Each structure stands twice: as structure tokens, then as C-alpha cells.
Structure 1
Amino acid sequence: MKVYIKNCQRLLKVNQQRIKSLLRKALRLLGLHKAELSILFVNDRRMRILNRQYRGVDRTTDVLSFPQIEYSSQLSALSSQQFVLGDIIINLHQAKRQASEYGHTFNEELKKLLIHGLLHLIDYDHEKSRYRKNKMERKEKELLKAIR
């Protein structure tokens, strides 16, 4: 399991070792023992550009995920060899605002966004249907509880 992290903004610091540890634990719980993924931390400006470029939405957002594989169709092949799961981009400035808004710590919000982004990489979705939204929310809660 490999987790690569790059912090491309200067305002907020993150504990990269802790983040790697959390993600490795989540990957193990998901049975993705040979997965590689990249995490990129950005600011509002960069996230707005990316959100506009890839989703056609001209505003910032908290997290974007870019899967490198079609997870559901390649599931059986994933357990036998090293593979790149994808990239998660997190806007740390938005994460800080959301932590304040939701009444929890920055680290708690960051953990939630990491898990949310990870689930998107493995084909979980919250926009296509109510059923899929509920399924994703349940899995998020399960993983967040397990990686504490």
C-alpha cells in the first residue's frame, strides 16, 4: 500500500504520516492491500480551477476524486497486483471553514474528506440516487469509526 501526499498550499499544515496511516488502515479495511493513491492538498483558487475544468462548476469545493480504474469491472484483478486507485484532491481552506461550520476539529473534517474521497475512488456515489447516497453515508460512518 502506497500513499503519496503533496501539500500545494502554504496556509495550513497537515500531519502527513498520520494521514498515510489513516488511509492505509482504511485501504486494509476495504480489502485494497495493493492499492496506491495520491493525495493533493490545495487552496480555494486552485480547487475552483479544477472544479470548473473537470465538473463544469465555477466555484470551489471541498474534495474531488479522480479514479484511475473502473473499480466495479476490475475488482477481481485488483487483489493480485499493485495498482493505482486514483487521486484525491482536498481544499484545506474549505475543510477549515467546514470544520468550524459543523462544530468539529479541522482534523476530524480532514479525516471525513479523505474517507469521502477514497469511497468515490471505489465507485461510491451520493449524487446519482438516494439509495447510493445512503449506502455511501453508511460506509463513511463505518470507516470513520473503525479508523479512530
Structure 2
Amino acid sequence: MTTEVLNETETPVDGAEFAALADHVLRTLHVNPLAELNILFIDPEPMAELHMRWLELPGPTDVMSFPMDELRPGTAEEETPAGTLGDVVLCPQVAATQALEAGHSAVEEMLLLTVHGILHLLGFDHAEPEEKKEMFDLQRKLLLTFLAERGA
């Protein structure tokens, strides 16, 4: 996988950890190893601008996904074609606030949001209750298996 992690904030981010998480998620979902993904960390003001421009909602949000080639998960028998998955954009400040409310670290929240964003790039959604259950169960499983492999 080709994952580029860009941090445009003052918040320290371990780019290698987020790239490893993306690799784990994409490998588990049988996405072509040549697929490209960008993970971008931005401040609240530019996130609020994206949120308004694309969703017409005020204020910054935690994560937004911008798919490119509309790749979908593959199977053990057939992985996805190579292509550009797209961009996952996160706001560490919003994630930190949510982490406090959830009772875990900001890093754990950003890792969860990264998985969430990647799943959106792969076509998962949570508009309907059954879709939400499927997506949230999968994101939890992917994050827990990643953390277990990393010994976290």
C-alpha cells in the first residue's frame, strides 16, 4: 500500500503508526497493495471550511473522506484493482474533545477515526441502522486486531 500521512497541525502525529494502521485495514479487506491513500491532519478552521463546502454543515468535524476511484473491498480470491482510494482528513483537536468524552486517548480516537474514514472510502456507510451496525462492528474489529498485532 502507498499511504502518505501529512500533518498540517501542531499536534504531534506518529505518521508511521497511521500508515501501518491503513496497511492493516487495506490488507485485511483485500485491497490491492498498489492502492494509494492519503491521510491528512488539519486544524479546525480548514476542517470547518471543508465541512461547509462539502456537507453544508457549520463548524469543524472529526473526519471526512474523499473517495477517488471508488474502490471496494476485495475477497481472499480476488483483491480490488489498483487505484487511488482517496483522502481521509482528520482534525486532531475535534478528536481530542471526543476522546475526553469517550474516556480514551486522543491517539486512540484518531486511530478509530482513521479506520472509519477508510471504510467510507471503501463504500461503507452508516445512514441506516443495519449499515451502521456492520460498519461500526467492522471498524472496531479492525482497530482491535491492529492494536493486538502492535502489542498495544
Q: What is the TM-score of this pair, normalised by structure 1?
A: 0.90
Q: Does 1:19 align with 2:18?
A: yes
Query: Aligned pair in 2 of structure 1 residues 64, 80: CA closer, same or farther (>3 Å)?
Result: closer
Contact 1:34 1:79 in 2 (8 A): no
| Aligned pairs for 1:21-40 within 5 A | 21-32=20-31, 33-40=33-40
Structure 2 unaligned residues grouped into runs of 5+: 148-152
TM-superposed CA distance for 1:107, in Å, is 1.3
Q: Does 1:7 align with 2:34?
A: no
1:42-77 residue CA offsets vs partner (Å, 9 max, x unmatched) = 1111100000001111121000001112335x969x
| Aligned pairs for 1:58-137 within 5 A | 58-72=58-72, 79=79, 81-127=81-127, 129-137=128-136
Q: Residue 150 of structure 2 aligns with which residue?
A: none
TM-superposed CA distance for 1:7, in Å, is 0.8
Contact 1:3 1:39 in 2 (8 A): yes
Identity rate, percent: 31
Which amino acid in the other structure matches residue 28 of structure 2?
Answer: L
1:108-135 residue CA offsets vs partner (Å, 9 max, x unmatched) = 10110000000000011012x1111111
Q: What is the TM-score of this pair, normalised by structure 2?
A: 0.88
Structure 1 unaligned residues grouped into runs of 5+: none
Which amino acid in the other structure matches residue 132 of structure 1?
Answer: E
CA distance in 1 between counterparts of 2:80 and 2:120 reads 22
CA distance in 2 between counterparts of 1:66 and 1:46 reads 15
Give the root-mean-square deviation of aligned CA atoms: 1.9
SS across alignment from 2:124:
coil
SS across alignment from 1:104:
coil
Aligned residues: 144
CA distance in 1 between counterparts of 2:59 and 2:82 reads 35
TM-superposed CA distance for 1:106, in Å, is 1.3
SS across alignment from 1:88:
strand
Q: Does 1:52 align with 2:52?
A: yes
Contact 2:70 2:85 in 1 (8 A): no
SS across alignment from 2:98:
helix
Which amino acid in the other structure matches residue 142 of structure 1?
Answer: K
Q: Does 1:141 align with 2:147?
A: no
